[in-house]
Amino acid sequence: HPLKGMVSPLDFIPIAEETGLIIPLGEWISRQACRQLKNWQRRFPSLSDLTMNINISAQQFWQQDFVPRLRELLETESLDPACIGLEITESVIMHDADNAAALFRQLKDTGVNVYIDDFGTGYSSLSYLHRFQFDGIKIDRSFVHSMEKEKTNLELVGTIMLLANNLQLRVVAEGVETESQARLLSQLNCEWVQGFLSSRPLPAEAAEALLVEQVFRQQRLLDCG
**Is 2 a domain residue?**
no
Q: What is the pLDDT of residue 32?
A: 97
Reduced DSSP (H G I as helix, E B as strand, rest coil) percent helix, strand, coil of the chain, to 5:
55, 10, 30
Q: Is residue 179 part of a domain?
A: yes
- pLDDT attached to residue 219: 78
Q: What is the mean pLDDT of the chain?
A: 91
Task: Give residue 165's domain range.
Answer: 9-119+132-224
172: in domain: yes
In a domain, residue 206? The reply is: yes
- Write down the pLDDT at residue 127: 66
User: How many domains does the chain divide into?
Assistant: 1
Considering only residues 66 and 8, tell me which one the structure prediction assigns the higher pLDDT.
Answer: 66
CATH number of the domain within which 220 lies: 3.20.20.450
Reported as a single tens digit per residue, the pLDDT across 171-185 is 999 999 999 999 999
Distance CA(49)–CA(41), nearest Å, equals 9
166 vs 112, residue with greater confidence: 112
| Residue 225 pLDDT | 60
pTM: 0.91
Residue 127 lies in a domain: no
Residue 4 belongs to some domain of the structure: no
pLDDT tens-digit profile of 136-188?
999 999 999 999 898 888 998 998 899 888 889 999 999 999 999 999 999 99
Which run of H or E residues covers position 214? helix 204-224
